[in-house]
Amino acid sequence: MREQATGVLPGAGRARGTGILEPVTSLDPAIAARLKRSADGLVPAVAQQHDTGEVLMLGWMDDEALARTLATRRATYWSRSRQEYWVKGDTSGHVQWVKEVRLDCDGDTLLVRVDQVGAACHTGDRTCFDADVLLARTDGAAADAAHDPATDPAHDPTHG
């Protein structure tokens, strides 16, 4: 498992005489106990626009990133490629203001409902899911329209 305090965080302090970064925020033990992490201590975090339901991106959080997100209401992720924490928007200006965070029923995925300022994707696209559509809708409805099983004949329970 990856050591939690390896990323350089704004305001992070060093334990006196150790050279090891101390976590700035600790996650509530009750929340931490419910999380099911990957082998490297991470939980996938799906960022979703709070008012439209639009899926924006997938990031990764460990306990520290989640604690910082909950404390600051700014989405904080662990970069697997750079091996450091990053606060969405600190360099790009494309901030994610966190409105709500949910844990799924299995405890292995987070849903981070945000107010996205600007593009969510590092490519400049609104979402990380704009570029490659592998299977398009055939009913002519808008791609990001909310799915309503009540009006979808393919999900009619009377037609098994």
Tens digit of each residue's pLDDT (9 = 90 or more) over 26-72: 899 999 999 999 999 999 999 999 999 999 999 999 999 999 999 99
Residue 15, in any domain of the structure: no
- 68: enclosing H helix or E strand: helix 63-72
Rounded Cα–Cα distance for residues 63 and 26 (Å): 8
How many domains are contained in the chain?
1
Between the alpha carbon of residue 7 and those of residues 15, 59, 81, 84, the distances in Å are 14, 16, 12, 4
Residue type, 82: R
Q: Which residues of 60-96 are buried (b: 16+ CB within 10 A; e: fewer)?
A: bbbbbbbbbbeeeebbbbbeeeeeebbbbbeeeebbb
pLDDT at position 25 is 72
Residue 155, in any domain of the structure: no
Per the rule left: phi > 0, alpha: psi between -120 and 50, beta: everything else, 100 is beta
Distance of CA 104 to the CA centre of its chain: 12
Query: Which stretches of the chain score pLDDT less than 50?
Result: 1-21, 145-147, 151, 159-160
pLDDT at position 19 is 43
Distance of CA 35 to the CA centre of its chain: 14
Domain encompassing residue 103: 26-131
Residue 38, in any domain of the structure: yes
Kindly report the CATH number assigned to the domain that includes residue 105: 3.10.20.810
Residue 5, in any domain of the structure: no
